[in-house]
């Protein structure tokens, strides 16, 4: 059981390290969004995907370790969690404290990543809105207003003013 517990703690520390890597990438990501550096953003996205894959593997390993610990503790087939283990380790205060600290660090890192992702999501949404505004502005600049010329039937002729924004004749 001690080796399973040590491996669980190492796995949780590994997950925390991966979340810390995501947090460190956030500054570059935010800068690339603000300054519209798409090549940098693409490279960061590739790095984030690799980290997400590593996190998925570590999570699977943690779940396997929890199943193994459940079997050793006589709770085979029951889904146990780290919180359940903390509650049921009253006789092992050192291991219990280590598990509490590892869980708290992991929760804090995951929460920080979630907040940063929300901020980046808002930045991306604002960037998309600016692009849409620019497109609309460019479209409207190319459309000239109609003239006030009337035909024989007293309706506007539909003639447009010059097609370019400036009259280049001098």
Convert the pLDDT of each residue in 10-31 to its tens digit: 999 999 999 999 999 998 998 8
| Lookup: tokens for 90 | 């009253």
- Residue 70's pLDDT band, with cuts at 50, 70 and 90, is confident
Q: Is the pLDDT of residue 92 over 60?
A: yes
User: How many other β-carbons are positioned within 10 Å of the β-carbon of residue 19?
Assistant: 22
> What pLDDT does 131 receive?
86
In this prediction, residue 91 carries a pLDDT of: 86
Confidence of residue 163 (pLDDT cuts 50, 70, 90): low
Q: In this structure, what DSSP letter does residue 162 have?
A: -
The pLDDT of residue 158 is 58
| pLDDT bucket at 141, cuts 50 / 70 / 90 | low
pTM of the model: 0.73
Average pLDDT over residues 112-141: 88
Instruction: Using pLDDT thresholds of 50, 70 and 90, give the confidence band for residue 166.
Output: low
Give the phi and the psi of residue 57 in degrees, each rounded to 5.
-65, -45
Distance CA 132, CA 127 (A): 9
Give the ranges where the chain is alpha helix by DSSP (H).
2-34, 38-72, 82-87, 93-142
Q: 38 near 29, Cβ under 8 Å?
A: no
Task: Please give the Cα distance from 143 to 118 (Å, whole number).
Answer: 38
- Name the fold adopted by 2-142: Methane Monooxygenase Hydroxylase; Chain G, domain 1 (1.20.58)
What is the per-residue pLDDT for 170? 53
| 32 pLDDT above the threshold of 80 | yes
Round to whole Å and give the CA distance between 101 and 147: 74
* Residue 74 burial by Cβ neighbours in a 10 Å radius (0-12, 13-18, 19+): exposed
Alpha-carbon gap, residue 170 to 157, rounded angstroms:
28
Nearest to 84 by CA among 71, 99, 101, 64: 99
| Domain assignments of the chain as residue spans, ordered by start | 2-142
Q: Above 70 in pLDDT, residue 156?
A: no
Task: Assign 142 a pLDDT band (cuts: 50, 70, 90).
Answer: low
């Amino acid at each position: 059981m001690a080796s399973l517990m040590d491996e669980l703690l190492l796995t949780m520390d590994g997950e925390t390290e991966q979340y810390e890597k995501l947090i460190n990438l956030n500054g570059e990501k935010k800068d690339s969004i603000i300054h519209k550096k798409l090549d940098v953003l693409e490279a960061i996205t590739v790095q984030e995907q690799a980290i997400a894959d590593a996190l998925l593997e570590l999570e699977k390993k943690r779940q396997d370790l929890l199943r193994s610990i459940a079997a050793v503790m006589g709770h085979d087939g029951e889904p146990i969690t780290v919180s359940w283990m903390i509650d049921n380790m009253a006789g092992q205060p050192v291991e219990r404290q280590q598990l509490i600290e590892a869980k708290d660090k992991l929760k804090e890192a995951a929460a920080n990543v979630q907040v940063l992702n929300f901020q980046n999501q808002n930045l991306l949404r604002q960037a998309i809105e600016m692009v849409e505004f620019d497109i609309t502005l460019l479209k409207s600049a190319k459309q000239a207003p109609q003239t006030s010329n009337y035909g024989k039937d007293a309706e506007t002729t539909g003639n447009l003013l010059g097609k370019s924004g400036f009259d280049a004749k001098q």
